[in-house]
Amino acid sequence: MTNHGDNRLFWPGAAKIVVVASVLFTLAGLVLPNYSHARQWIGLTGIELAEKHNAYGFAGAITPLAPDAEFGQGWVQSYWLDWVEYRFGSDGEEVRARAPGFSASLGYQQSNSKGFWAAYAGAGYRKTTLTPDRLNAEVRGSQSALLLMAEMDRRVAMSWRFVGAVQLAAGPDTYWTRAKFLHATSASVWYGMEIIFQGDPDYHATKVGLVLDEWPVGERVSANFKLGANKTKGIKTGAYAGIEFVGSFRSSK
């Protein structure tokens, strides 16, 4: 039985999330329709752990739609797989949700010397298991959804950036938004804060945290770190921590 009074970060699930994220990262590359011909592609994977047994693992890949195209100059395709676990309050009781998901989207990007913007549309699938079950929950069981997403990364000064993203899903209705305010160090590593709003008809959460972005861990890979507080409606505020890896790759012709 889950100990709902345990306020530690969900470290026991860390190994499971790492394995899931690694497998999903590999699968994301395998499902790219023209992966072997793509000139450029971006891979993303990461984990987030939080108190109250909240956890998130993901892996994704983005590549230009045309084999010889460059990022920020037109159409792209995006594939995303994830696994999420969270808690929310319902009728005075704490409900545990576990939900693996997959999505595929078509997007359009434009970039210049000050940053980029992108917009995506696609479809997603998620299977949500609730414990204890809630027959009246709108997000429950196997469900597909229409996805709309927009993102931007803009330099507002030589050493300041604003990074924003919003994703909306219809059927069931869910939302996720994030804003980052970043300042550059002398080593071109960015630090600042993030604020996130996410939820669905049964669940609403707000996160505020500190971030350290684009820490180099290899020639083509960088890491993003986060640490902050998460407030879910009906649940006490708890801490969260996460790490993301972003890699930019170019396949040989």
> Tens place of pLDDT for every residue, the chain, 253 residues?
333 344 444 444 444 555 555 555 555 454 444 444 546 889 999 999 998 788 999 999 999 988 777 888 899 999 999 999 998 888 778 889 999 999 999 999 999 989 999 999 999 999 999 999 988 888 889 999 999 999 999 999 889 999 999 999 998 889 999 999 999 987 789 999 999 999 998 889 999 999 999 999 988 999 999 999 999 888 889 999 999 999 988 766 5
Give CB contacts under 8 A, 24+ apart, made by 170-179: 170/145, 170/146, 171/143, 171/144, 171/145, 171/146, 172/138, 172/139, 172/143, 172/145, 172/200, 172/201, 173/138, 173/200, 173/201, 174/139, 174/145, 174/198, 174/199, 174/200, 175/199, 175/200
Is 11-249 CATH 2.40.160.40? yes
Beta strands, E only, the chain: 41-50, 54-64, 73-90, 93-112, 115-131, 141-157, 160-170, 174-184, 190-200, 203-216, 221-232, 238-249
Q: Domain map of the chain by residue range? A: 11-249
Residue 244 pLDDT = 96
